[in-house]
Structure 1
Amino acid sequence: MEIAPLNNEVAESDEVGAAYWIKTEDKVRLRVGVWCDERAVNGTILLFTGRAEFIEKYGRIVPGFLEQGFAIFSIDWRGQGLSDRVASDAHLGHVHHFLDYQKDVVAMIEAARSLSLPKPWYLFGHSMGGNIGLRSLIDGVPVVASAFTAPMWSIAVPSFLEPVAKPLSRLAVMVGLGEMYTKAQKGHSYALHRSFESNSITNDRPMYEYFIRQATLFPEAHIGAPSMRWLYEGLTECDRLSNLRSPEVPCSAFAGKDDVTVGRKAIEDRMSSWRDGAFTIVGDAKHDLLYDRPNISQKVIQDVCAFFRQYS
């Protein structure tokens, strides 16, 4: 695999990682990143990032996982980070079909094998990564356990738009407006578009300032609001997944009590019937639990690692 750039200044991590370029079966070039050393005695966590995220965004949480004995292997999904864009507007959050992300997963697993990453492997997904991750678990991705924070098993939309979000986004796709932005944010990074006081990601101001620094120092890795096609595809995939049984893979899921980005009921419903499943609602927390206040983020990391160690 060809070496790819990894911006340690943006990651603000004391750990030394590496990044590589990989190719999917449909010839999309993706970037993957790995942090692994002799401490990874418990195996490797496959980190499925959220929408608009990129590998360096997780730099600050890597030490916590390494200290607990886990390597981290992450990815820039198609259309974001430094991976190939799939829309004419490079700043648009876009995908042609949600199942295209599974092609990225296949390439990611092949890369993990090529790198001989320590086993067993675990899957950790945040937000959109939780949606992609659930589909991957159902399809048989080779992991022994899984964990999710704020998994996107439904998309939270304002109540007055709920009945029309899917038909309107479908109509937009049908009439050739699939690459239209869904929000006034357009191509701007969320952290540069919204103030800390109005953000829906974190209650921790220093962490939000970290996001702002990343957006300023590394604009080429950022994307803005999702497209109408992304919205339609995302809503459709959530509906498809809701009709499928949970896989026979142990799972621990977390959601912030004040999360307004994903639908909590869908998480509660699935986890209530997931065999070997556990669900935790985290009080006084927003969408990104790994980047909320230190007492919250550290506790979630500790709980995830303790859960995974049961299967190491």
Structure 2
Amino acid sequence: MSLQSAPFHHDVAEGPEANAYWVTADDGVRLRFAHWPLDTEQGPAKGTVLLFPGRTEYVEKYGRAAADFAARGYAMIAIDWRGQGLADRMVDPRYVGYVETFDDFQRDVAAVLAALSELDLPQPWHLLGHSMGGCIGLRALHEGLPVKSASFSAPMWGIGLAPYLRAAAWVVGAVSKPLGLHGRLAPSTSPVTLVLDKPFDDNTLTKDPDMYAYMQRQMTGQPDLALAGPAINWVYEALKESRRLRARPSPDIPCLTFLGTDERIVNTGDVHKRMARWPKGTLDLIQDGEHEVLMEVPETRNHIFDACAAFYGRHNV
């Protein structure tokens, strides 16, 4: 196949030059991915980071991350999953985060991997999965994702819900499709994307006001990228996928996971349990870090990108 160029909003990405492309999954859903090649003046690339974003995210959000990896010798790609970014939205209104089943995200992975063969990306490849992308990435590793190592940022191996809310989510999710409610916003969630709905003070994403403002500029500058709360069915399917993954062993691949000590979105207990049984895994606890540890204060970001580059470098053969 021949790759078809897609729009990319350089003005809000604030990163190196990128190329974006459309790809189509085997069920007809159109997706977008971005590629940040390494500038030839920076010397030969040490490899390529396959960045799997989280829920609500879009490729432009990782423009600064692409710059951080480029400075350390790595090219990068990132994906707009179905239902977010400029990929096909799955329900109306478009701001509702929806997926029919988490199996569908593996269709997205397969479609992008097939397209990457045309780009001749520098080898080896390394995974970086953030939040929901960590859930998708763990499943992809089990299904043979061709990477030499895996890193995760606040991986969604469980959702941070109070026990009574978790029980309610199982019940409501199970009856939502027969009642025709599965595409509606989950109770207590907002129709406004998080960074525009909540002020910086006591936000659950980052301690860095500059990075919070960066995300806000992206939402006000390119509102079509915005995604708000999850649908009832998304929550239900996420709970089911987390349960399935908990029952599986850890992949036989080196793993480095970052988790903020102030994490309030994913279930931290599930992350600790998974890493405790990952023989080739290391858990790096980020002091005072919120959910977006890749977008934390500069000292934290430098630590994480340095640690990733060193980790990838140890597994480049």
- TM-score tier by shorter-chain length is over 0.9
Q: Secondary structure at the match of 2:270?
A: helix
Tell me whether 1:57 sits opposite 2:64 in the alignment.
no
The amino acid across from 1:162 in the alignment is R
TM-score normalised according to structure 2 size: 0.96
TM-score w.r.t. length of structure 1: 0.97
Q: Which residue of 2 aligns with 1:254?
A: 258
Secondary structure of residue in 1 paired with 2:82: coil
Q: Does residue 8 of structure 2 align to residue 6 of structure 1?
A: yes
Secondary structure, in 3 states, of the residue corresponding to 2:167? coil
Are residue 170 (structure 1) and residue 174 (structure 2) matched?
A: yes
Measured in 1, the distance between the counterparts of 2:29 and 2:167 equals 35
Q: Which residue of 1 aligns with 2:29?
A: 28
Percent identity over the alignment is 38
Partner of 2:302: 298
Distance 2:54 2:180 in 1: 26
Instruction: Read off the aligned partner of 1:33 and give its amino acid letter.
Output: A
Q: Which amino acid aligns with 1:34?
A: H
Bigger CA drift: 123-132 or 294-303?
294-303
Distance 1:159 1:259 in 2: 17
Q: In structure 2, list runs of 5 or more residues that go unmatched.
A: none
Q: Is the 8 A contact 1:290 1:298 kept in 2?
A: no
Query: Which residue of structure 1 aligns with residue 106 of structure 2?
Result: 102
Residue 308 of structure 2 aligns to a residue whose secondary structure is: helix
RMSD (Å) for aligned C-alpha atoms: 1.1
Distance in 1, matches of 2:302 and 2:186, equals: 34
Q: What residue in structure 1 maps to residue 70 of structure 2?
A: 66
Offset of residue 301 of structure 1:
1.0
- Counting only pairs closer than 5 Å after superposition, residues 257-268 of structure 1 correspond to structure 2 as 257-268=261-272
What do the CA deviations read for 1:65-96 (whole angstroms, capped 9, x no partner)? 01111110111000000000111221110000
Counterpart-to-counterpart distance in 2, 1:218 and 1:19? 16
1:92, 1:225 within 8 Å by CA — same for their partners in 2?
Answer: yes
- Find the counterpart in structure 2 of residue 225 from structure 1: 229
CA–CA separation in structure 1 for the residues paired with 2:48 and 2:112 = 13
Cα shift at 1:187? 2.6
Runs of 4+ in 1 over 6 A off after TM superposition: none
8 A contact 1:92–1:186 mirrored in 2: no
Unaligned runs of 5+ in 1: none
Structure 1 distance, partners of 2:90, 2:10, is 26
Structure 2 residue 214 is the aligned partner of structure 1 residue 210:
yes
Q: In the comparison of the two structures, how many residue pairs are matched?
A: 311
Q: Is the 8 A contact 2:204 2:290 kept in 1?
A: yes
- Greater CA drift, 155-164 or 77-86: 155-164
